[in-house]
């Protein structure tokens, strides 16, 4: 159906670029895809639909997990918070494995399908743990200690969901972005909008998860809520499969780590060779632009890696040399991309630690406040998280519909502002949110001191609203920015792993949050009263929040310094290594 070699591709691209898609993707039958019948919004809507249902399930479980662990499992506050952080950490680090498998072996569509089945199995097991008599926590309505078999089955189900999320999240989001062609002007602009609307769908699922699902958990039963989540995910999986003829697929290219290792080995072997006087003397493979992705411009950073692309005069053609001895400029630049991203990844961790508090201590705080609204309606504790989702929906919508058009005209940047600038703005909001959290918790404790243990019930749960709202607005900048950054700036062959890198920020931050709680608990107990007591009223979470705010502010200074020096991916539109003019769209828009 489509062209089979590079020469045919070059000639046809200039003739029927609007008819065929020449970005190394294929249709569901392995042919060059038609632009009119595949990809773009008609395909991505199927993908956003299953993301909606997955986030509905995830947040319906995650935001109320600390409530379940303290009420049903009878864990104390510190143990429950650590359990939630460990599960959240595993759930958001597993995508590193899932993204690797998707990019290297299974492909993104197949990875989403397999991981969704695992996710569904986890939900089914979670449901059974609430209805099968021998698997239930207790025979009676209330008990002081759950059955061990319930604990085993419950956590097994949770970690099956973690495994499912590990393949689902990185492959699905990158699969959705793959539906837009970077080399087509209109589709490229739509891809920028895709990440905003992806998060709109995500937040819509989150919003229903922390309101309707959590309400059912609180007022009807945990089991009924899990039945609904299982049914919705099964239905959305069927919808995802129906969309198969409309998708564009990227064929797996093998392990993306092997070429990176080859570059490092080749550079080490030729470490004693002098640098060439002209970058154009470095080796490049023009066919790479056609078959395996786009060519990258040579940069001056990390120059020691450039030696991997030096051609030696040994009588053999470049094509005959071992890839462990000679690498192309593009392969070298791909390694540079990954190395340049490591500092950015590290300085986003304090932001992730702050975010981790929203699903643990923030939710637990809501249980101590007055939750009655109107004529006796009692708001479920985890439903307060909906304010965060509302803040993110508002932030994403205003950014997409108002700020971006204005900023495009003012800055001339196709994105509106640079990706790292967007992330940094969100970090400022996260610091403000932690300051607000500290002030509100200090207020709550002062009420308890005056009126006794249940005194905080006189405070409305909506006192927590500002901190959730500020976090939500900040997430609309930082979370969406991180998704776009890690998808866009990694090599084209590693885009599922790119999304996994973004998720790993949150995962690693959850583990670090648990470590930080342990360290702070030990230090404060040694020099006085622990900041983490048996319950909230005997704790000093306000001090902990001030600590996180100070860490975030100090980290923001480092982040700004790194962001100002950062070099974005620069795609070469020419086969000449040195021909990287400043008007390349990807450099100018970043």
Q: What is the pLDDT of residue 287?
A: 52
Number of neighbouring beta carbons within 10 Å of residue 154 = 22
Q: Give alpha helix (H) positions in 148-246.
A: 148-177, 185-208, 214-219, 222-242
pLDDT at 570 (0 to 100): 79
pLDDT of residue 366: 87
Q: Over 221-250, what HEC string results?
A: CHHHHHHHHHHHHHHHHHHHHHCHHHCCEE
pLDDT of residue 5: 45
**What is the per-residue pLDDT for 405?**
85
Query: What letters, b where the CB count within 10 A reaches 16 and e where it falls short, cover 268-292?
Result: eebeeeeeeeebeebbbbeebbbeb
The CA-based diameter of the chain, rounded to the nearest angstrom, is 88
pLDDT at 142: 60
Cα end-to-end distance, the chain, whole Å: 35
* pLDDT of res. 364: 83
pLDDT of residue 314: 62
Check residue 583 and give its pLDDT.
39
CA distance 64 to 49: 23
Run means of pLDDT, 10 residues per run, the chain, 590 residues? 43 58 80 83 88 89 85 80 84 85 89 93 93 79 75 91 88 88 81 80 84 88 92 93 91 83 91 82 66 73 89 67 86 91 93 87 86 80 86 87 84 79 94 95 89 78 92 90 88 83 84 89 87 84 94 96 88 54 42
Give pTM, 2 decimals: 0.77
Q: Chain centroid to CA 119: how far?
A: 18
**What confidence score (pLDDT) does residue 286 get?**
63
Identify whether the C-beta of residue 331 lies closer than 8 Å to the C-beta of residue 259. Answer: yes
Helices 257-269 and 329-347 pack at an angle, to 10 degrees, of: 110
């Amino acid at each position: 159906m489509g062209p089979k070699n590079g020469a045919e591709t070059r000639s046809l691209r200039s003739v029927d670029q609007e008819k065929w898609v020449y970005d190394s993707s294929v249709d569901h039958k392995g042919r060059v895809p038609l632009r009119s019948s595949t990809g773009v919004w008609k395909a991505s809507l199927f993908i956003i639909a299953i993301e909606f249902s997955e986030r509905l399930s995830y947040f319906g479980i995650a935001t109320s997990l600390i409530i379940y662990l303290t009420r049903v499992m009878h864990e104390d506050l510190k143990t429950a918070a650590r359990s939630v952080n460990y599960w959240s950490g595993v759930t958001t680090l597993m995508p590193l494995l899932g993204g690797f498998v998707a990019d290297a072996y299974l492909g993104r569509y197949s990875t989403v399908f397999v991981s969704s089945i695992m996710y569904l199995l986890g939900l089914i097991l979670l449901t059974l743990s609430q209805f099968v008599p021998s698997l239930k926590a207790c025979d009676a309505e209330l008990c002081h200690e759950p059955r061990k078999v319930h604990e085993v089955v419950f956590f097994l189900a949770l970690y099956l969901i973690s495994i499912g999320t590990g393949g689902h999240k990185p492959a699905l989001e990158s699969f959705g972005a793959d539906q837009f062609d970077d080399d087509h002007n209109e589709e490229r602009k739509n891809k920028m909008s895709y990440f905003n609307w992806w998060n709109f769908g995500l937040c819509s699922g989150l919003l229903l998860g922390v309101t309707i699902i959590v309400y059912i958990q609180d007022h009807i039963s945990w089991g009924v809520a899990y039945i609904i989540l299982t049914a919705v995910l099964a239905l959305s999986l069927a919808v995802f499969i129906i969309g198969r003829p409309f998708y564009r697929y990227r064929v797996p290219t093998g392990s993306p780590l092997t070429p990176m290792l080859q570059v490092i080995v080749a550079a080490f072997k030729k470490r004693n060779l002098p640098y060439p006087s002209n970058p154009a003397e470095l080796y490049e493979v023009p066919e790479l632009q056609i078959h395996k992705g786009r060519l990258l411009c040579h940069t001056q950073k990390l120059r020691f890696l450039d030696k991997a692309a030096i051609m030696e005069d040994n009588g053999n053609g470049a094509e005959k040399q071992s890839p462990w001895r000679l690498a192309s400029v593009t392969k070298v630049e791909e390694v540079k991309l990954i190395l340049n991203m490591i500092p950015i990844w590290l300085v986003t961790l304090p932001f992730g630690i702050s975010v981790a508090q929203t699903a643990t201590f923030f939710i637990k705080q809501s249980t101590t406040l007055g939750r009655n609204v109107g004529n006796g309606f009692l708001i479920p504790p985890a439903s307060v998280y909906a304010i965060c989702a509302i803040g993110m929906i508002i932030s994403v919508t205003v950014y997409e519909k108002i700020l971006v058009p204005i900023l495009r005209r003012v800055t001339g940047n196709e994105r509106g502002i640079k990706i790292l600038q967007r992330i940094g703005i969100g970090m400022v909001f996260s610091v403000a949110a932690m300051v607000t959290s500290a002030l509100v918790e200090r207020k709550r404790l002062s009420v308890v001191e005056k009126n006794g243990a249940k005194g905080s019930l006189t405070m409305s749960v909506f006192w927590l609203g500002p901190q959730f709202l500020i976090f939500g607005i900040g997430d609309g900048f930082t979370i969406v920015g991180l998704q776009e950054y890690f998808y866009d700036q990694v090599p084209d062959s590693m885009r599922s792993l790119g999304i996994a890198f973004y998720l790993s920020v949150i995962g690693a931050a959850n583990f670090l949050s648990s470590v930080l709680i342990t360290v702070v608990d030990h230090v404060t107990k040694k020099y006085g009263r622990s900041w983490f007591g048996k319950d909230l009223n005997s704790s000093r979470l306000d001090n902990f929040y001030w600590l996180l705010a100070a860490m975030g502010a100090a980290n923001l200074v480092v982040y700004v310094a790194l962001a100002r020096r950062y070099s974005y991916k620069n795609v070469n539109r020419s086969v000449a290594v040195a021909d990287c003019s400043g008007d390349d769209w990807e450099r100018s828009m970043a």
